[in-house]
Structure 1
Amino acid sequence: MKIDERVHEDDGTYNVDVETGNGILLAQSGVPAGPEGSVVKSGQYSYTAPDGTPIVVKFVADENGYQAHSDVLPVAPAFPHPIPDFVLEQIAKAAREDEARARGDFDSSEEYGYAPPSSSYRAPQ
């Protein structure tokens, strides 16, 4: 079965419904309601993955960009997520160094085991 229905109005409103022979479905509509007359689109598409999993993706495209929603899309971890101790230690160390630099008493030889280059350094002859 194959369906391809498209309706385009003079004001920019449209609807598209498509079904391909292999079972892919697309339903999308658009309305000129965005900033500066841009078209806000919404809809969904669906298909069957090679492993037999049914895939359904709903979407909106507006002034905030394309936003897809589906159970099969990856989701970022909840924030605030735990920050590892070694990262917190590095952040604290950087803050201490910034404070020492602001006071003018930061000495890299204490922290890193070497002194900064001398202003009297000359290239070898």
Structure 2
Amino acid sequence: ILDEKGRPKLRDSYLLDTLECGESSFAMACLIANRKYGKNGGREDVKTHHYIISFDPKDAVENGLTMERAQALGLQFCKDNFPGHPAIVCTHPDGHNSAGNIHVHIVIGSLRVRTVERQPFMDKPCD
């Protein structure tokens, strides 16, 4: 969201949680994993992935979707699909250009910070 001069401004309302970061910040959790596995040292390396779950504006009225429910869905999606990855999950109610739709941003570190049970979609133990 931009102010009247085109500069980014903070949103009025949002929810923010982290996963798999322990007592560290998301950035520190990612840095520790990068050093542990000797990866992501180059500028061109993919260090994070950003996903957006965007809900239909009608979901709030027709299905009772709230920011809290959307945040819970985002956290569960992250736990189910990115186990072991440090993550930031942030939900806000105002879509881009005043679209008015609740949506969830999920940013995960590209490496896992703990060992998890291998799933068919996992290429490597740490990725």
TM-score by length of 1: 0.24
Report 1 or 2 for greater relative contact order, CA contacts < 8 Å, sequence distance ≥ 6: 2
Structure whose alpha-carbon radius of gyration is higher: 1
**Which structure carries more strand by proportion?**
1
**Which structure carries more helix by proportion?**
2
